[in-house]
Amino acid sequence: MAIQFKKTRLAAAVATAAMTLGLSTAANAVVVVGGDNGWEVSFDGNVNAFYMTGDHDEGFDPTGWTAPDAAGSFANSTPQLNTSRINTGFLPAFFSFNVKSPTVNGMTGTARISFAPQIASDNTKYSGYAGRMDGGGGRGTQGSSIDMREVLVNLEGGFGTASFGRTLSIFGRNAVLKDMTLFGVGGSAMQGGGTTFGRIGRGYTYPDFNARFSYKTPNLSGFQAEVGLYDPSVEQVNNRAGAVLDQTDTPRFEAEANYTTAFSGGSVHFWADALYQDLESADRNAAGEATVHGWGVGAEGKYAGFGLTGYYYGGQGLGRSLQFHGGTACDAFGTVCEEADNDGYYVQGTYTFNGKTKLGMSYGQSTEDAFSNGAVLAGNGNTELMSRDAELSMWTIGVYHDMTSWLKLIAEYSHQKNEFGENEVTLSNGTATEADIFSVGTFFFW
């Protein structure tokens, strides 16, 4: 068995890290182990660390899920916070195993398993076990635990690619992968463990990692499409929605179409994505049901060091930040369920000079309309949260420098804002909270 060491450039390593977030492609690994009969095993990954300092208004919530009270105040929620953390960024660390089969009858199989740990615990001095050493409950090793993000197989040939397993979902995927904060911090994680928020809920909803079967067409003169059947999701919050919308008798459908073309000195990539899923009730006394659907369009252009990216999405029931989180609500009897209207966008401009240093600026926002009075008044959930229109926004400036072929340095500054409209039930005033986050950090790739 031979061991081959590949010299990779940082650009390839960056692309590899993006692939671990859902492009379902074997990585450009540093170490490739060749086996018998054409089998190969390879390894890739990263370790990253950031120093982050943040100034958060009273009541600020990175996910946008803290609303003002009836008086328009946040006095009973999160206090004003000045934070200082050392943690992973929007990407966790990764260690990934890749297996490649020999090609038989024009078909090649690849498998990938990715472990995604983080460097910080839930800012506790100890992390002996998840239940806390003092017996007081709590999150213990939350931040330093291992997240199994990818477990998948691809079967590739002239027919395209058939895939099964767990990886990043299709809807919103390209928006995440093209976000410059992917290799930075973006939105703050505040006091908890785990990764930061990037631009989640401020230009796109987070697709998360899900089990699925998918099929991707061959590349036809720059055009390629992918469709997937996903393990369906249920509503998590808002009145009785989590209890009523508990039946998923069909899979979730997601799809994406891409067109890429290159020209002298540059390239253009256009894409469109979509999501559709029904939610029903297993309770014989609850007749409510909901349909979650979304669509998005995006484009990225590159020319002579300049880059411009834009994405817009719309839909119903998507949730304001995390998909299927708070996008639907049901009344107390489970007879009427509603889907909130959602939309959002982000624009991003970058310039790379000397082939090593990228300067970037981006702005994005996501909005969710309030639920109707009927659903709110008859329910038993957070009426202040559900009775207000919400707009979450963030602008970011960043510097991303390739120090060597395996080391990247990053500095970012982000300003986040959560704005809430007038309460539709009490007619109390709207209000807003803000946060500022500065970070410096580094990535080591292999």
Residues 5-39: tens digit of each pLDDT: 443 434 444 444 444 444 333 345 566 787 778 89
- Quote the CA–CA distance of 87 and 439 in Å, as a whole number: 10
Identify which has the larger pLDDT, 191 or 420. Answer: 420
Q: Give Dmax over CA atoms of the chain in angstroms.
A: 72
CATH: 1.10.10, 1.10.3470, 2.60.40, 2.40.160. Which one for 46-91+170-445?
A: 2.40.160
- Quote the CA–CA distance of 180 and 199 in Å, as a whole number: 9
Q: Where does residue 136 rank: exposed (0-12), middle (13-18), buried (19+ CB within 10 A)?
A: exposed
| Per-residue model confidence as pLDDT tens digits over 51-108 | 999 999 888 888 888 777 766 677 667 778 888 989 899 999 999 999 999 999 999 9
The residue-averaged pLDDT of 310-330 equals 92
Q: What angle do CA 363, 358, 313 make, to 5 degrees?
A: 30
The residue-averaged pLDDT of 229-243 equals 80
Query: What does pLDDT average to over the chain?
Result: 84
Q: Which of 51-55, 196-200, 232-236, 394-398 has the lowest mean pLDDT?
A: 232-236
Write down the pLDDT at residue 371: 86
Write down the pLDDT at residue 226: 98
Sketch the domain layout of the chain as residue ranges. 46-91+170-445
Q: Which of 141-145, 187-191, 247-251, 298-302 has the lowest mean pLDDT?
A: 141-145
**pLDDT bucket at 431, cuts 50 / 70 / 90:** confident
- pTM of the predicted model as reported, rounded to 2 decimal places: 0.88
Residues in the chain: 446
Q: Which of 97-101, 119-123, 188-192 has the lowest mean pLDDT?
A: 188-192
Q: Which residue, among 421, 425, 443, has the nearest Cα to 68 in the 3D structure?
A: 421
Write down the pLDDT at residue 134: 42
